[in-house]
Amino acid sequence: MGNPRKPDPIGRAAHVAARIGAVRRRTVELAAPLTAEDAMVQSMPDASPAKWHLGHTTWFFETFVLARAERDFRAFHPRYGYLFNSYYEAAGPRQPRPSRGLLSRPPLEEVLRYRAEVDARLAAAFGAGLAPDLVDVAELGAAHEEQHQELLLTDVKHAFASSPLRPAYGPLPPAPARPAPALAFVPREGGVVEIGASGPGFAFDNERPRHRTWLEPHALASRPATCGEWLAFMADGGYRRAELWLAEGWDAVRANGWEAPLYWERDGAGWAVYTLGGMRAVADAEPVQHVSFHEADAFARWAGARLPTEPEWEVAAAAAGAGEGHFADAGRLQPDAAPARPGLVQLAGDVWEWTRSAYGPYPGFRPLSGALGEYNGKFMVSQLVLRGGSCLTPAGHVRPSYRNFFPPGARWQSSGVRLARDA
């Protein structure tokens, strides 16, 4: 996006149209286990109801594609722009974020009709020949919707975990069948390297431009940290020792009473964890998830290590190749134990990995033009980058150059830790 592309061949539009169709169907599938009541819950201001995700992703296509592509465009409903705009100032006022849970109307079934109508009109627009720049926007819309697929799952998880009944979204994920392989630190060379997206394939504006940077020699952990390792951190007073924490993190520990990752609950002498399939015992072999940057950073300090930087991670991931992560499509919706294989494993899928890089613009960064320029650029302060992809990420959504970002206290994403060390 926002970079020069070759003229759009017929094939590209058709490919994008097909991709949109698949993504749109998948979103509805992900919402299928939810009742209309489930789809309304907003359990904290950072999360949104599933119904809102269903509407918002549709509004995105309606507003940024159909409104420009259709000659006689008419909005499905005059108030949906207000209801389903997320944060685009240029697109007008909107329902306050913390009040998305008040929207009993429109009912879920009407939002599904909204989806169906917009899908049909999108198909018609593609059929009539969409201008290349709108094909670009439509492709962005598909990637955008995949991001909301993941948020739909993280938000349902938070909502269900907030219910005293702890309902299950799907089947209970079994504990891993194998232990986690021993942790190794893999040495990595320094020097001038290149990171960022290049070439014609889709990437977000924040992944561009590809540019050079300098790396010092370092080492990366062969796999993400496990729940077993996290239990050792806890047993060693990890949540009670100020010297392990950044000042802001220590404040968060005390203000929020953190003593374990989010969704962990004491169960007799041990710990149970809420999964999207319900409660079960914490499994040592699983990568730990639902930890904040602050927890990840303290854990790394405790381990005599540090978190990786963006370039360290990206160069390694680009070299490592695709890997065998467990993405959302696998249906487990919970990370699994790492494979016993030399080198760096589980770089994508399973858990997002906190880096110690603040989220900011790359040298020469140019946001998209118009309202879509608000997509990524306006969040470039006070957040940290996560890399990888998780068990709730749609397969095929991520790339080595992909940059996820959240504030340092966020825990409701599937966020874990890969350690790094100076050489």
Three-point CA angle 352, 25, 289, nearest 5° = 15
Closest to its own copies by CB, 142 vs 156, is 156
Three-point CA angle 333, 145, 310, nearest 5° = 70
CB atoms inside a 10 Å sphere around CB 74: 9
Closest to its own copies by CB, 275 vs 393, is 275
In whole angstroms, the minimum distance from the beta carbon of 303 to its own copies comes to: 16
**135, 150, 186: which is closest to 329 by C-alpha?**
150
Residue with structure tokens 């874990």?
Answer: 416
List 139, 297, 314, 350, residue binding its own copies (CB under 8 A): 297
Q: Which two tokens stand for residue 412?
A: 């409701």
What is the contact mask toward its own copies in residues 131 to 160, using x (rule: CB under 8 A)? Answer: ----------------------------x-
Instruction: Examine residue 35 and tell whether it contacts its own copies (CB under 8 A).
Output: yes
Please, which residues have CB within 8 angstroms of residue 204's CB and are 6 or more apart in sequence?
A: 1, 140, 143, 197, 375, 376, 402, 403
Span 181-220, contacts to its own copies by CB under 8 A: 192, 211-214, 216, 218
Closest to its own copies by CB, 43 vs 346, is 43
What is the contact mask toward its own copies in residues 37 to 66, using x (rule: CB under 8 A)? Answer: xx-xx-x-----------------------
Instruction: Examine residue 74 and tell whether it contacts its own copies (CB under 8 A).
Output: no
| Choices 239-247, 268-276, 331-339, 395-403 (CB under 8 A): range interacting with its own copies | 239-247
Please, which residues have CB within 8 angstroms of residue 278's CB and are 6 or more apart in sequence?
A: 166, 167, 168, 172
In whole angstroms, the minimum distance from the beta carbon of 168 to its own copies comes to: 10
List 3, 147, 162, 198, residue binding its own copies (CB under 8 A): 162
Pairing of strands 384-387, 404-406: antiparallel
Instruction: Examine residue 104 and tell whether it contacts its own copies (CB under 8 A).
Output: yes
In whole angstroms, the minimum distance from the beta carbon of 19 to its own copies comes to: 29
List 165, 182, 235, 255, residue binding its own copies (CB under 8 A): 165
User: Rounded to an integer, what distance in angstroms lies between the CA atom of residue 217 and that of residue 219?
Assistant: 7
Instruction: Examine residue 103 and tell whether it contacts its own copies (CB under 8 A).
Output: yes
| Choices 171-179, 228-236, 280-288, 351-359 (CB under 8 A): range interacting with its own copies | 351-359
Q: Which two tokens stand for residue 252?
A: 């968060």
List 3, 95, 147, 198, residue binding its own copies (CB under 8 A): 95
Closest to its own copies by CB, 71 vs 105, is 105
Instruction: Examine residue 250 and tell whether it contacts its own copies (CB under 8 A).
Output: yes
Closest to its own copies by CB, 361 vs 396, is 361
Closest to its own copies by CB, 107 vs 132, is 107
Judged by CB under 8 A, how many residues of this single chain contact its own copies? 65
CB atoms inside a 10 Å sphere around CB 211: 15
Instruction: Examine residue 293 and tell whether it contacts its own copies (CB under 8 A).
Output: yes
Instruction: Examine residue 318 and tell whether it contacts its own copies (CB under 8 A).
Output: no
Instruction: Examine residue 87 and tell whether it contacts its own copies (CB under 8 A).
Output: yes
| Choices 95-103, 143-151, 225-233, 281-289 (CB under 8 A): range interacting with its own copies | 95-103
What residue ranges bind its own copies (CB under 8 A)? 35-38, 40-41, 43, 79, 82-83, 87, 89-90, 95, 99, 101-108, 159, 162-165, 167, 192, 211-214, 216, 218, 242-243, 245-250, 293-294, 297, 306, 356-358, 360-361, 363-364, 373-374, 378-382, 384, 408, 422
